[in-house]
Amino acid sequence: MRPRYETPPHLTISITDTCNLACKWCYADCGSKRERRPLETGEWLSFIDYLAENGFIQVYFEGGEPFHLRGFMRILAHATPRMMTFVRTNGTLVTPRLASRLAKLGVGRMLVDIQGANAGTHDGLTGSPGSFDKACAAVRRLAGEGIKTDVLVILNRRNAGELQALADLAREMGAKRLGILRLYPLGRAKRAWTELSLSIEEQQAAVTAVRPGEGFEIMQSWHPRDRNCCWQAAAVNATGDSIGCMYLREYVNFGNVLETPLLETWSTHPLYQQLRKGNVKSSCSSCNENDGTQGGCRSTAYAFRGSWDAPDPFCSHLNDGIDLRVLPIRLLPQDA
């Protein structure tokens, strides 16, 4: 039986929608025009105070590119002494001086996106020549400072054949883990879906072929680790909206933290409560990852099936013939 939390143990903050890259797979659609203003540094500092006062123990910062945001280091320094902090970055702005500052702050873990085992693949996906070399340098610098560092990759058609080489590279650079993440039908990824997407069989084959090597870990979100994490997760976007999970960003808004306390949205919003219960049709009761993960990701379930209580089509046991290479018509971008 999954525990009931008064405070979500995992909080993600998308601290900015700005970025210095233009990645094809970007689910945040960084750089696109926004109708609402992002939170200012002072508002983020007050929000960090709220988190600390209400028993939050872990916060995960992502973007956009966090280090592209003026004031982020001040926000990070405000959070780090009071809770475990994680930062996801593209690595291009991680200078030796910044790596040293992060180590002195005591950041709990750094996660660096590297989208292939070579510059051709990575730079082609980021749209920025030289970004591969900068990302690799960031991993080496961060690991060299003694910071626990992971490499993240978004599995897609361009890099599916490079996962083993990327795992070997990440390990050689000093990373502790390689996280193989899904391509989500959000943001810019929708416009590149035909080019980048894989079938469930192709995804499974790519993931299961990777051998981590001694002292190295592979993280992935395919069966049997296809998590339904809504019951324990919370997320806030750059404008302060409570959205449950970053992969729900285009589907929900449970209230803005400048107007409604985050824990109030967590405990009282009807849809948030429904997602937290984790009741999923046709979920596999015999799954050995059943406790807290039953039914898989709610974002992809809703994207491909149009229902919050549908099973995750990225699960090989619950896919039911859905071709993940074809987006539902309602998800197609208007300019497609």
pLDDT in tens, 89-126: 999 999 999 999 999 999 999 999 999 999 999 999 99
CA distances to 161, 219, 221, 225, 323 from 208, rounded to whole Å, are 12, 11, 11, 12, 20
pLDDT in tens, 48-85: 999 999 999 999 999 999 999 999 999 999 999 999 99
For the chain, where are the alpha helices, taking DSSP H only?
41-53, 72-79, 96-105, 119-126, 131-144, 163-173, 188-191, 193-196, 200-208, 262-268, 270-277, 298-305
| Of 97, 107, 300, 110, residue with least CA distance to 190 | 300
103 within 8 A of 144, measured Cβ to Cβ: no
* Architecture of the CATH domain 10-220: Alpha-Beta Barrel (3.20)
161: DSSP letter: G
Contacts of 89 (CB under 8 A, 6+ apart): 65, 66, 67, 110, 111, 112, 113, 138
Measured in degrees and rounded to the nearest 5, phi and psi for residue 333 equal -60, 150
| Alpha carbon distance 279, 276 (integer Å) | 8
Residues 302, 38, 48, 140: is their CA dihedral positive or negative?
A: positive
Q: Which DSSP string corresponds to 15-44?
A: --S--S---TT-TT-TTS--SSPPPPHHHH
The pLDDT of 184-194, averaged and rounded, is 95
| pLDDT of res. 211 | 96
Query: Residue 146 — pLDDT band, cuts 50, 70, 90?
Result: very high
327 within 8 A of 190, measured Cβ to Cβ: yes
Query: Residue 267 — pLDDT band, cuts 50, 70, 90?
Result: very high
| Alpha carbon distance 308, 286 (integer Å) | 21
b/e 137-165 (16+ beta carbons within 10 angstroms → b): bbbbbbbebebbbbbbbbbbbbbbebbbe
| pLDDT of res. 95 | 99
List the structure tokens of 49.
């105070």
Instruction: Tell the residue number behind the tokens 């229902």, with chain if given.
Output: 307
The pLDDT of 272-299, averaged and rounded, is 72
